[in-house]
Amino acid sequence: MVELNKENFDAEVLQADGLVFVDFWSPKCEPCMALLPEVEAFAEKNEGKAKFCKLDTAGNKRLAIAQKVMGIPTFVFYKDGEKIEVFDKEAINEGGIAAVEAKLNELA
């Protein structure tokens, strides 16, 4: 997965063509850490369908807030730089990674 930060966010996400998946997480967030192995497996399995990225919000707070993310874990799909789908913590808990995968297949 591509590690995002202030320097590369614009190029990797906002100016990128096609589908981009971003996992907003932080090492302090237990639920995020619990999810991380699953998210990584999901990214590996679906390689090619989208660009898979993660953003550690701990050092990139302003960047996350600019993306209207103020709670984690949050997954966001971007298409051609536009935010098109958001999974907040509740949505992730409800459907699990399976629901995120279904959405990916629908968007890809």
Partner 1 sequence: MSEVYDILVVGGGPGGLAAGIYGSRARLKTSIVEKGRPGGQAASTMEMENYPGTFRESTGPGIMKNFTEHAEHFGTEIFKGTVSDVDFTGPIKKVTTKDGETYEAKSVILSPGAEPRSLNIKGEGKLRGKGVSYCATCDADFFEDLDVIVIGNGDAAIEEAMYLTRFAESVTVIVIHDEGTLDCNKASSEKAFKNAKLKWIWNSTLEEIVGDELVEKVVLKNIKTGELTEMETNGVFFFVGTVPKTDFLKGKIELNEQGYIITNDLMETNVPGVYGVGDARVKYLRQVVTAAADGAIAAVAAEKYLDEMESFRENVLDKKEPVLLAFWAPQVEACFDVLANLEKKVEEKGGKLSLAKLDTYRNKKTSGSYNVTKVPTVILFKDGEPVDRLEGAEAITPDAVEAMVKKVL
Give the x/- contact pattern for partner 1 in 31-60, rule: CB under 8 A: xxxxx---------------------xx--
CA torsion through residues 100, 103, 107, 108, sign: positive
Residues 6+ apart with CB under 8 A from 93: none
Give the x/- contact pattern for partner 1 in 77-96, rule: CB under 8 A: ---------x-xxx-----x
Which positions touch partner 1 (CB under 8 A)?
26, 28-35, 57-58, 61, 64-65, 68-74, 86, 88-90, 96, 98
